[in-house]
């Protein structure tokens, strides 16, 4: 199976504005797709979708983006652009895990963790960070096992658990790194009371080349979860996924077909490639 996984951030009409901000805040970043509904940009070659979905959902810190900065200057410059009209969750400072680190929500509610380190130690510049809170606190290890059992080229890189007397329940996951389809993710438990949880405000897109791949991921990720419309689903840990055909972008950019394609997939839950290609 050849497929690409990348994050999708939900916006209320200001996806282009946000993408422009991110392209100014991070090095080696560019917009690669620009449509009224979807703006895609690349950060150091990593794809991110900004979706103009409307007012229904908003991103929150349950899924944040951990970005590795090589120098203090780079980190501080990025921080200054993202923090404007945003909220500081953990101030820029020296911490046990880094000489320079900070966590913020930008003005759109998108959550960023900036870390001074070496990107080569992680293998990628930006790493999605999953924070399991509320009823899901304590289920991080179970979720990692679930996801690595579904995706090919997956592995657990490191798991660090809370010890007795630390700031969470003993045995909960303090920090874990794992790969899905060779892409790195971070995950953590938090039993502290939070005002946020996983929502469609942050989701993950899986691009599939064949109907067989779509069926596979749809069936695996909806086990214990909820099917939604237009390729969206919520898995048993409340994380949202979009299982889409890789050809969809090409079809959407065809002015003769795009409207009909949209009308067709609005009637679908799971995408059916054959129907879309026949339009």
What was the pLDDT predicted at 249? Answer: 80
What was the pLDDT predicted at 256? Answer: 79
> Closest by alpha carbon to 76, among 118, 21, 114?
114
Domains of the chain are 209-277 (3.10.180.10)
Along the 279 residues of the chain, how does pLDDT read in single tens digits? 456 899 999 999 999 999 999 999 999 999 999 988 899 999 999 999 999 999 999 999 999 999 999 999 999 999 999 999 999 999 999 999 999 999 999 999 999 999 999 989 999 999 999 999 999 999 999 999 999 999 999 999 999 999 999 989 999 999 999 999 999 999 999 999 999 999 999 999 999 999 999 999 999 999 999 999 999 999 999 999 999 999 888 877 777 777 888 888 888 999 999 888 888
Alpha carbon distance 185, 66 (integer Å): 9
Alpha carbon distance 60, 67 (integer Å): 16
Alpha carbon distance 253, 205 (integer Å): 18
The pTM of this model reads: 0.95
What was the pLDDT predicted at 259? Answer: 83
CB atoms within 10 A of CB 2: 11
Alpha carbon distance 172, 65 (integer Å): 21
Contact 111, 65 (CB under 8 A): yes
For residue 143, report the phi and psi dihedrals to the nearest 5 degrees. Answer: -65, -40
> Closest by alpha carbon to 103, among 95, 94, 115?
115
């Amino acid at each position: 199976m050849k497929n690409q996984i990348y994050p999708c951030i939900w916006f209320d009409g200001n996806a282009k504005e946000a993408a422009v901000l991110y392209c100014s805040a991070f090095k080696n970043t560019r917009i690669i797709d620009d449509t009224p509904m979807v703006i895609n940009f690349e950060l150091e070659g990593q794809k991110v979708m900004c979706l103009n979905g409307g007012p229904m959902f908003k991103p929150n810190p349950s899924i944040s983006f951990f970005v590795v900065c090589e120098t203090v200057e780079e980190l501080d410059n990025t921080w200054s652009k993202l923090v404007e009209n945003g909220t500081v969750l953990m101030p820029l400072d020296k911490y046990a895990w880094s000489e320079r680190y900070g966590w913020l929500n930008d003005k759109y509610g998108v959550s960023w963790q900036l870390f001074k380190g070496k990107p080569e130690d992680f293998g990628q510049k930006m790493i999605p960070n999953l924070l399991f809170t509320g009823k899901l606190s304590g289920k991080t290890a179970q979720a990692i096992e679930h996801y690595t059992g579904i995706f090919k080229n997956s592995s657990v890189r490191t798991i660090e658990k809370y010890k007795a007397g630390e700031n969470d329940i003993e045995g909960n996951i303090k920090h874990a790194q794992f790969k899905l389809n060779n892409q790195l993710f971070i995950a953590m438990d938090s039993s502290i009371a939070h005002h946020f949880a996983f929502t469609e405000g942050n989701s993950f897109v899986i691009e599939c080349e064949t109907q067989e791949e779509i069926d596979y991921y749809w069936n695996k990720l909806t086990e214990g979860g909820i099917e939604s419309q237009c390729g969206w689903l919520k898995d048993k840990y409340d994380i949202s996924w979009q299982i889409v055909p890789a050809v969809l972008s090409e079809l959407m950019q065809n002015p003769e077909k795009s409207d009909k394609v949209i009308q067709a997939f609005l009637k679908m839950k799971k995408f059916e490639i054959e129907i879309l290609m026949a339009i």
